[in-house]
Structure 1
Amino acid sequence: MNLSELNIDLFRIINNLGKHSTYINPTMTFIAEYMVFFLVLSVLIFWFTRSNTNRIMVICASITFAVAEIAGKIAGKLHSNNQPFAELSNVNKLIDHAVDNSFPSDHTLLFFSFCMTFYLFRRRWGFLWILLAFLVGLSRIWVGVHYPADVIVGAVISIFIAIIVYRVVPKLSITKKMLGVYEKGEQLILPIKTKSKEQ
């Protein structure tokens, strides 16, 4: 069995689960389509807590995603395939999706970029972020829009880049300088209220 056949077989195993366990389909569909809004909300909350650590974390996650997207585009030039529903018969397709190059999965690049970074900064509960990224990747296969290889390669790219960014970016002086400039501007628009001391 070659890698292509293994990729298709693994896809069939996961995707066919939706045909037998139909009660899980609404949950998987929700995760595949709408969990991105939860991620965006989480990023905004982390940023506007005005914690320096949280903001460095968000910066690292954003840089990781940007670099991962570039790496993903390069990988897509080296190998390409359309979505499973466009290439295979009898696919359990649960969401609408345009036909294009699905390698690697953009959703997986996004979630593993941010969730892996959150894990590195917050080890205590970080496994929950990794679990979320895993579920999103799994859901994209479940609903029929990605092969396992699309997800696995996307995850590997993002995890590798996240580790490098985590080790490098927080130590750069320019990171702290740019954040300081931003925070000065933010203070002018959204000043932090301080409690006045009683005389």
Structure 2
Amino acid sequence: MAGLEAGSPVSETTGEPGPDVDLLYDINGLTAGTPHWFDRVMEWTGEYGTVFALLLLVVWCWWSVRKRPDAPLAVAGLVWAPLATGLALLVNIPIRNFVERPRPFLDHQGLKVLVDGKTDYSFVSDHSTMAMAMAVGVFVVHRRFGLAAIFLAVLAGFCRIYMGVHYPTDVIGGFALGTAVTLLLAPLAMAMLTPLTRTVAGSRAGWLVQSRAARAAGPRGGSAGTHPAEDHESNLAA
């Protein structure tokens, strides 16, 4: 494998080749056979593209769930998604400072780094944390949009390794952190956000939460504090 070449991967703890560094070299090594324009596309995708795509997906999902009878509950879940993302990034600050893991290109030779200026610590990946926190938040509201969001999150993590700025375990750690923060705090968040979205739904700004047709149809189930994922599958897949 590419990771076993001279001057390449060694485990930071044992000094021997390890699967984390080995996989890093294998994925980053794909750059050797790709054209320059493709690397630039991967760089933009990993830095900005997946973030923009996730935000657009959240807006699209919001427009869709407004038509559901349980729209206030679903919109509360979509409001929680970006809030959970921000909270997960805050939680990552002390984790990074505690672990103090250098970027892989500082410890390993032969990596092709596609983006310069990365001087902060590597574990865990902020991009991966942010992407998966947002994706899981969308998934618990709407399965189809959520699967697309999770795909984008995985793509973001892959790009970070491809670019040579993160180890695979940085990305996996980010996925785990984003998922944990979003799901563990969801009951409390929903208990606070659902009454708020229901209040907005009954106001002049009600269109932000529920479409006129859905409001005319009247409320259907879903008490404050319940999770959108507990709604009927027909609503989740709507």
- Identity among equivalent positions (%) equals 23
Q: 1:194 to 1:39 in 2, by over 3 A?
A: closer
Q: TM-score, normalised by structure 2?
A: 0.67
Distance 2:80 2:104 in 1: 33
Cα distance, 1:111 vs structure 2: 0.4
CA RMSD of aligned residues (A): 3.0
**2:195 alignment partner, one of 152, 177, 181:** 177
AA paired with 1:151? V
Three-state SS of the structure 1 residue aligned to 2:205 is helix
Cα distance, 1:45 vs structure 2: 3.8
Cα distance, 1:15 vs structure 2: 0.8
Three-state SS of the structure 1 residue aligned to 2:95 is helix
Three-state SS of the structure 2 residue aligned to 1:121 is coil
Distance 2:148 2:207 in 1: 34
Three-state SS of the structure 1 residue aligned to 2:140 is helix
Q: Which has the higher helix share?
A: 1
**2:205 alignment partner, one of 184, 187, 197:** 187
User: For residue 102 of structure 1, what is the aligned residue in structure 2?
Assistant: 122
* Unaligned ranges ≥5, structure 1: none
Q: May I ask how many residue pairs the two structures share in their alignment?
A: 192
The answer to whether structure 1 residue 56 and structure 2 residue 76 are counterparts is yes
Q: 1:56 to 1:95 in 2, by over 3 A?
A: same
Q: TM-score, normalised by structure 1?
A: 0.79
Runs of 4+ residues deviating >3 angstroms: 1-6, 21-24, 44-50, 165-168, 180-186, 192-195
Q: 1:60 to 1:188 in 2, by over 3 A?
A: closer
Distance 1:26 1:2 in 2: 29
User: For residue 39 of structure 1, what is the aligned residue in structure 2?
Assistant: 54
AA paired with 2:76? I
Q: 1:166 to 1:3 in 2, by over 3 A?
A: farther
**Which deviations, in whole Å up to 9, do the C-alpha atoms of 1:18-65 show, x marking residues without a partner?**
113447534422320222122223333444667234421222212321
Distance 1:28 1:186 in 2: 44
**Which deviations, in whole Å up to 9, do the C-alpha atoms of 1:124-177 show, x marking residues without a partner?**
45322212111110100101111112111111111122222344432x1x3223
Q: Is the 8 A contact 2:54 2:152 kept in 1?
A: no
* Unaligned ranges ≥5, structure 2: 1-9, 214-238
Q: 1:160 to 1:88 in 2, by over 3 A?
A: same
